[in-house]
Amino acid sequence: MRQELQNIEYIERYLENDLNNIEKRKFEQHMKQDAGFKAAVKLQRQIVSQLKEEAFLLDLADYQQEFTQQPPKGKRISPWWILLPLFILGSLPVLWYALSTASTPTEINTLTTEHISLPPSVEMESSLPPPQLKAFETNFVSKKVRAQKGATIYLKKSKSTLYIPTNAVVDKHGNPVKGAYELQYRELRDRADMAFSGLPMNYKNQETAEGLNSVGILEVRAFQNGEALQIAPGKALSLDYEVNKRAKNLDLYHLDEQAETWTETSEVIDLPKKDAYTEAFDSLAYQAAVIAHNEKFKNLGIGDGVERKNATINVETTLIPERMKKTEREERPDPNKYLVKHYKNPRLVKDLRLNSFGIYNCGQKYKVKNQIAVSADYTDLEQIIINNAHTLSIIDMNYNAAYSFKPEQFICNAKANNIFLLWSKDGKLYSFVKRATIKMNTGDYSFQMEDLSEKVKNTADLKRYLKFVEKKTKETVTKTN
């Protein structure tokens, strides 16, 4: 019985937040490993909660009675001290049973990240994200557009072009917009752009997780006097979009921002064949060649065998000096030689229609293979607990995507080369590099993370880090699906 009372005291200290970090970590690990102990904690929490509630009600009734009946003065004993021993005595048998049936602690898997030394860096929640995250956000590019003229906008990060037709936008009441308005856009081209964008990269919430392997994301908005605008009915923006990589089975998706899911549009992604080209006659070069030819023969004289009537050149080879004997076909500029090949951009998708402002994702669906569900906690390399985790972003190096999760639970491909990026609420960035050779199963894991806060301070640093890790992974590990 003494041991059970000690366990109750131990549980009460936890519930009252009276344990230090090391004791708290051991306590929570024991809870995860031992269902019986977890049940005992749950029961004790209910007992304490019930005690507090009943004591509060009794106190409230007593308080009201003081004002209605004015009882004699005297020191009043709180009913909490009367109820507490009774509830503890009544709960001891149940707690004793729960604690006595508790299993021995099971082992929590601990994974330590491989320490990666980077070359010298290039300088450049509460529910709210840490302010350091702003350095990893992709900024919008702003352009002024006159509603009556429309605009052609060449996107900065790619060889993409956005065409805005005339009178293409309306306000929230459906009234045509007049004068100038502000069009904003941003492109997310790679994993570093997507890692902390806040955009979901899953296709639909299903039992089997599906992701989008993105070849480019474009967000487009329009404002006038701070008010969000809409594309007018019957109008659409036209987009020639350069994807960052050729891929099969590409589709264009639009984000339903309320449901946070991607909806497939009706647009067809038709990439040109490699080495595809069109031919065009270079008339300027041909005319220059004809002028040069005429200039060459103009001083040969009347009897030189060359007629110059209406810039037509006829050569009688029998009358031309020996050193200049050539056939007419050989001597005259050949128009066929002035057909110029214009090779198409093999990554440019032409004439995509955007029927509304918002976020568009050009990508391909895929199923996350070898899915496992992980419950996680985190420490740094010195095994100090990271107890203020804010956001977890997982990058599967086989795909151009980044997936955000609550740090406590996530799913991933157990056999993939993954990079786990963890933001803490105090603005620190941690990394865990999981090689495909590390075996993982569904269960509880403790990840030992490397602190990147001093090495990776913005998106450019993150791109550099991801590129470096991917290079090292290719050198040492064969990709496994």
Using one digit for the tens of pLDDT, what is the confidence trace for 440-469? Answer: 889 999 999 999 999 999 999 999 999 888
* Token reading at 12: 């009460």
Most confident by average pLDDT, 131-135, 238-242, 320-324: 238-242
What kind and span of H or E run contains 143?
strand 141-146
Confidence of residue 206 (pLDDT cuts 50, 70, 90): low
- Burial class (CB within 10 angstroms; exposed 0-12, middle 13-18, buried 19+) of 392: buried
Beta pairing, strands 251-256 & 227-228:
unpaired
Confidence of residue 26 (pLDDT cuts 50, 70, 90): confident
Greater model confidence, 269 or 209: 269
What pLDDT score does 129 carry? Answer: 67
CATH number assigned to the domain covering 137-271+347-363: 2.60.220.50
What pLDDT score does 285 carry? Answer: 87
DSSP annotation of 129: P
Report the C-alpha gap between 58 and 78 in whole angstroms.
9
Sign of CA dihedral 373, 376, 380, 383: negative
Of 39, 33, 40, 36, the C-alpha closest to 5 is 40
Confidence of residue 61 (pLDDT cuts 50, 70, 90): very low
Cα 33 to chain centroid distance, Å, stands at 34
Mean pLDDT of the 7-14 span: 77
pLDDT at 480 over 80: no
Beta pairing, strands 371-380 & 443-451:
parallel
Of 468, 463, 381, 473, the C-alpha closest to 428 is 381
Largest CA distance in the chain: 145
Report the C-alpha gap between 362 and 85 in whole angstroms.
65
Report the C-alpha gap between 396 and 400 in whole angstroms.
8
Q: Specify whether the backbone of 379 is left (phi greater than 0), alpha (psi in -120 to 50) or beta.
A: beta
Greater model confidence, 7 or 148: 148
Greater model confidence, 379 or 66: 379
At 275-333, the pLDDT tens digits run: 777 888 888 888 888 888 787 766 554 444 444 444 444 444 444 555 555 544 446 78
Find out whether 44 and 11 touch, Cβ atoms under 8 Å: yes
DSSP annotation of 300: S
pTM for the predicted model, two decimal places: 0.62
Could you say which of 2.60.40, 3.30.420, 2.20.28, 2.40.30 is the CATH number of the domain covering 110-120+370-476?
Answer: 2.60.40
What pLDDT score does 185 carry? Answer: 96
What pLDDT score does 164 carry? Answer: 96
Of 426, 425, 437, the C-alpha closest to 111 is 437
Average pLDDT, whole number, for the chain? Answer: 77
Start-end ranges of CATH 2.60.40 in the chain?
A: 110-120+370-476
Start-end ranges of CATH 2.60.220.50 in the chain?
A: 137-271+347-363
- Burial class (CB within 10 angstroms; exposed 0-12, middle 13-18, buried 19+) of 380: middle
